[in-house]
């Protein structure tokens, strides 16, 4: 049996599948050639990350497919329910990358608090000639300890982010439209598991009281933004926003406007509306820290994702 991992899979995942006699192909096939190649080679399954889309046309035109797997959390690049209605197994790896995304959020939080994202741009160009000027410019950072982090969306990633923020001494509040469970297990090296209960509050309280806001929600079904000019107007002056979830959950036009006025002091984005060609005026904004959608891109996370994908494939193709 042959499986296409069109956006790649870790070596550990490949090894596990090959040991079970499953042939895994990792050579990328362009979107417009997928249907012909899947049928020509006879793939029984396709694995994707965020680059490849598996829509109704592929599902309808490739009757030998048995499953669609997504390495990661979000599944908005797959017609999930349609595939399941057609009898395919459609699955993802929601737990494997939670810690990696949470650590990137924390990296951005520290970077915004101390303005290192901008200092790192300015020092190579001006550090040798304007050292004292830059020292004065970046001498008004803030500590995370004692600040309030509001987390919108309190699933695995949101909860993992909460543990890191609590470790930094932050006050953490959370809101989740589908859950009121604020229970978090915090595994502290050398001390064991500590159970923490994060206060679950209203969306309005999150946006009006938080010093930093981190968003962890899926792409909305109607494509609307969760944070727009209206929500920003209710935030504290000088709030900092972080989005490592999905492009478009913060309205980028409204964000730029708020950065220009100072209502939003800084923002950090790992995801963008028009990936892989995000708007340049946003990327070049002096108050924006940015990364190219790498939240789950650690070697540890990719290893866990590959193994989890392999386990799920084996359960489908070689059930006990």
pLDDT in tens, 264-288: 999 999 999 999 999 999 999 999 9
pLDDT of residue 98: 93
- Number of independent structural domains in the chain: 2
pLDDT at 102: 97
Evaluate if residue 320 carries a pLDDT over 70: no
Least confident of 48-57, 129-138, 189-198, 264-273: 189-198
Q: Which of 164, 142, 158, 168 is nearest to 240 (CA)?
A: 142
Q: Judge if 207 and 130 occupy the same domain.
A: yes
**Which alpha helices (H) appear in the chain, and where do they start and end?**
11-19, 34-41, 56-61, 80-85, 98-114, 116-126, 131-137, 156-167, 203-209, 229-233, 252-261, 280-283, 299-317
Q: What is the pLDDT of residue 104?
A: 98
User: Same domain for 213 and 263?
Assistant: yes
pLDDT at site 219? 85
Give dist(CA 6, CA 30) in Å, integer: 9
Mean pLDDT of 2-9: 96
Of 49, 246, 285, 304, catalytic: 246
* Tokens linked to 25: 């192909």
Same domain for 140 and 79: no
144 with 266, same domain: the answer is yes
Same domain, yes or no: 104 and 244: yes
| Mean pLDDT of all residues in 12-33 | 96
Per-residue pLDDT, 74: 82
Q: Do 178 and 38 belong to one domain?
A: no
- Measured CA angle at 94 (ends 291, 64), to 5 deg: 105
Residues 141, 243 within the same domain: yes
User: Is the same domain home to 138 and 217?
Assistant: yes
Q: Residue 44: pLDDT above 70?
A: yes
pLDDT of res. 187: 82
The pLDDT of residue 186? 82
Q: Which domain holds residue 31?
A: 2-96+299-317
How far are the Cα atoms of 202, 208, 217, 259, 273 from residue 248, in angstroms, in the given order? 22, 21, 11, 17, 5
- Residue 147 · residue 168 · CB < 8 Å: no
CATH number at residue 233: 3.40.50.720
Q: What is the mean pLDDT of the chain?
A: 95
**pLDDT, tens digit (0-9, with 9 covering 90-100), for 237-262:** 999 999 999 999 999 999 999 999 99
Question: Which is higher by pLDDT, 249 or 219?
Answer: 249
293 an active-site residue? Answer: yes
Q: Is the same domain home to 12 and 147?
A: no
With a pLDDT cut of 70, the percent of the chain lying above it is 100
Residue 54 sits in the same domain as residue 126: no
Q: Is 280 annotated in the active site?
A: no
Known catalytic membership, residue 25: no
Please give the average per-residue pLDDT across 143-166, as a whole number. Answer: 97
Mean pLDDT calculated for residue range 308-319: 93
> Are both 72 and 114 inside the same structural domain?
no
Q: What is the reported pTM?
A: 0.90
The band of 95, judged by pLDDT with boundaries at 50, 70 and 90, is confident
Peptide bond into 198 cis (omega under 30): no
- 233 and 146 in a common domain: yes
Pick the catalytic residue from 103, 130, 257, 275: 275
Q: Of 25, 70, 293, 304, which one is the catalytic site residue?
A: 293
């Amino acid at each position: 049996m042959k499986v296409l991992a069109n956006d790649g899979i870790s070596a550990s995942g490949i090894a596990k599948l090959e040991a079970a006699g499953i042939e895994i192909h990792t050579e990328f096939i362009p979107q417009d050639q997928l249907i012909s190649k899947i049928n020509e080679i006879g793939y029984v399954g396709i694995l994707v990350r965020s680059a490849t889309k598996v829509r109704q046309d592929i599902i309808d035109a490739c009757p030998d497919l048995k499953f669609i797997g997504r390495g990661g959390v979000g599944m908005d690049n797959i017609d999930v329910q349609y595939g399941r209605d057609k009898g395919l197994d459609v699955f993802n790896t929601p737990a494997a990358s939670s810690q990696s995304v949470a650590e990137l959020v924390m990296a951005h939080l520290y970077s915004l608090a101390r303005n290192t994202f901008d200092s790192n741009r300015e020092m190579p160009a001006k550090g040798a000639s304007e050292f004292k000027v830059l020292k004065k410019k970046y001498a008004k950072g803030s500590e995370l300890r004692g600040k309030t982090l509001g987390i919108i969306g309190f699933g695995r990633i949101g909860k993992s982010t909460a543990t890191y923020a609590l470790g930094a001494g932050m006050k953490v509040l959370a809101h989740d439209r589908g859950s009121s469970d604020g229970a978090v297990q915090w595994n502290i090296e050398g001390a064991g598991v500590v159970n923490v209960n994060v206060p679950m509050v209203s969306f309005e309280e999150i946006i009006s009281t938080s010093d930093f806001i981190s968003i962890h929600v899926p792409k909305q079904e109607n494509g609307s933004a969760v944070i727009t000019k209206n929500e920003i107007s209710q935030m504290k002056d000088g709030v900092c926003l972080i989005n490592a979830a999905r492009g478009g959950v913060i309205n980028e036009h409204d964000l730029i406007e708020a950065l220009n006025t100072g209502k939003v002091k800084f923002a950090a984005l790992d995801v963008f509306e028009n990936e892989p060609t995000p708007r340049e005026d946003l990327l070049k904004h002096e108050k924006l820290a940015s990364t190219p959608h790498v939240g789950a891109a650690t070697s540890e996370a990719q290893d866990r994702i590959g193994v989890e994908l392999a386990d799920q494939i084996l359960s489908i193709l070689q059930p006990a």
